[in-house]
Amino acid sequence: MLIEPHGGRLVNRVLNETWRKKAIDNASKMAEIRIRDDTITDIENIAKGVFSPLEGFMGESDFENVLNRKSLSSGLPWTIPICLDVTKEEAERLEIGEDCVLADSKGTISAILHLEEKYYYVKKEMAEKVFLTADTKHPAVAKIENMGAVLLGGKIDLVNERFDPYRRYNLSPRETRVLFKEKGWRTVVAFQTRNPVHRAHEYIQKCALEIVDGLLLHPLVGETKSDDIPTDIRIKCYETIIRNYYNSGRTVFSVLPVNMRYAGPREAIFHSLVRKNYGCTHFIVGRDHAGVGNYYGTYDAHYIFDEFDPSAIGIQPLFFEHAFYCKKCNGMASAKTCPHPSEDHVFLSGTRVREMLRRGEIPPKEFTRPEVARVLIEGLKETEI
């Protein structure tokens, strides 16, 4: 039997065709709110159950509890606010209890919001409590500065889903649960990444796979930083490494269409709960999970789990230290297993690897698989043409 979704029920706010046509017919009578692409991503994740138990954008009680207690008002663990912001002027023309159209920049309807609340919030407080900094150099803090002054709360119904170029790999929580059941997997470990898989990642994943039935390689393909490797190149890398180095009978590859928040420890909890909704029983938490710059300690994403009742989280975190290739051990290792000094370890920074790839140089095989490096070299050449 698969693990229960967070809160016990997988949310579904996707309108069937009958109700979708009614919503479209009635849309002209509703107030319209234009929303950003990242908000549309949140809407689709709410509707498909990725963010279960959320059925819409957070009201004030849930918002305040997430900021101050890392839980929803029900007491259920939750660490990232899922918000819909508007300007004060926009909020003043909306009435509590009415339905509103949420549309993209071109006016295409994304969803219907059943407006339940309008409330003010303090941007600095949100930044400091969620991201542990008010420094606008932090990408998420910079986004908060540009948000509207009022937040709207209420359930949503998804009307139109955007075209998804990665649909064949974008399995919903319902789809992964069916797949895991068909495979007979009772225990599944998820691996979070926004980068191509290198040897340290591979080592960690395969260590975890030794203790469970299957691996969900689950890279994030929502909004990320501008200097991250483009999604289509990363997908080719994942396809290549799985084809050549993974047991296909024990590995599922699917993308996670969630925006990166760079909230460090709080995001480690959030990513765990999301994978629980996908049917995973274990989640790999590595070094500096969801970190950016120097805003979080190297293993803060491990320590935050101590603040929660494991039964309330429900998914088992697997903590791994930084892995590397040791020339003396003649294999992959970590500080837990390797007795040799750092000069015997092969470690390259992401910046240095990108520089090598752009020059057409294949990094050491101890760092990355040559097949993956070749995909990266060709992909980066194409992006620079």
Any residues with CB less than 8 A from the CB of 384 and at least 6 apart, and which? 358
Active-site pick, 20, 36, 186, 194: 194
> Which among 195, 250, 354, 358 is annotated as catalytic?
195
What CA–CA distances, in Å, run from 147 to 64, 293, 356?
A: 17, 22, 38
Distance CA 149, CA 87 (A): 5
- The candidate with the shortest Cα–Cα distance to 218, out of 276, 165, 263, 162, is 276
In the chain, at which residue ranges do the beta strands (DSSP E only) sit?
31-34, 56-57, 84-86, 99-103, 109-120, 150-158, 188-193, 214-219, 251-253, 282-285, 316-319, 323-326, 331-334, 345-346
Whose tokens are 């990444």? That residue is: 193
Catalytic residue flag (residue 194): yes
Note if the bond before 53 is cis, omega within 30 degrees: yes
Amino acid at 239: E
Is-catalytic flag, 369?
A: no
Q: Give the C-alpha separation, 38 to 82, whole Å.
A: 11
Enter the tokens of residue 158: 């998804």
- At a CB cut-off of 8 Å and minimum separation 6, what does 105 contact? 34, 36, 37
Q: Which residues form the catalytic set? A: 194-195
